Amino acid sequence: MNLPQNKAFCDTSFFFASLCPDDSNYEKAGDLLKYCKDNSVTLCTTWDVISETITLLRYRADYKTSIDFLDKIKPALVIVHYNESVRTAAEEVFRKLSRDKRLSFCDALSYVVVTHMLDNMPCFSFDRDFHSLGLEVYP
């Protein structure tokens, strides 16, 4: 796995899969997490992804799993902060690309953060949208 600077941006689909044994990508997510732990990989994300993850875990898993994410995973993450210009750029990406792609606004924000702030850092995601946006995605 080629992770420049030993860092990766994490999406909601990765976090969800890593915590929900019923998810079809649970084992792949676990393998990635083991690799990260063994190789001291820094995991980055945004508050938008954290919010989306907590909500998805609460709705599709349970309260305990959403709290486990907050208590056990969130503290280990590097949270990327951004300014209004990133939101404005994400709006433009959303307006331009979501007409032809099923793109969430959170994915548009992540795209702008990864491409404009994180030098196209590789992403951990099981979301096809990340691939369709041209981001480097693992697995």
Domain positions in the chain are 4-82+122-130
pTM: predicted TM-score of the whole model, two decimal places: 0.95
Amino acid at 51: S
List, in sequence order, every residue forming a beta bridge with 79; answer none if it has no partner. Answer: 45
- pLDDT tens for 108-121 read 999 999 999 999 99
Residue segments in the chain with a per-residue pLDDT below the cut of 70:
none
CA atoms within 13 A on the CB side of 2: 3
Report the distance separating Cα 54 and Cα 69, nearest Å: 7
Distance, C-alpha 127 to centroid of its chain? 9
- Edge-first strand order for the sheet with 123-124 is 78-79, 42-45, 7-10, 123-124, 137-138
Question: In angstroms, rounded to a whole number, what is the distance separating the alpha carbons of residues 123 and 126?
Answer: 9
Separation of alpha carbons 18 and 31, rounded Å: 9
Report the pLDDT value the prediction gives residue 102, as an integer from 0 to 100: 85
Task: State which fold the 4-82+122-130 domain adopts.
Answer: Rossmann fold (3.40.50)
Query: Which is it for the CA torsion 56, 59, 61, 64, positive or negative?
Result: positive
pLDDT score of 79:
98
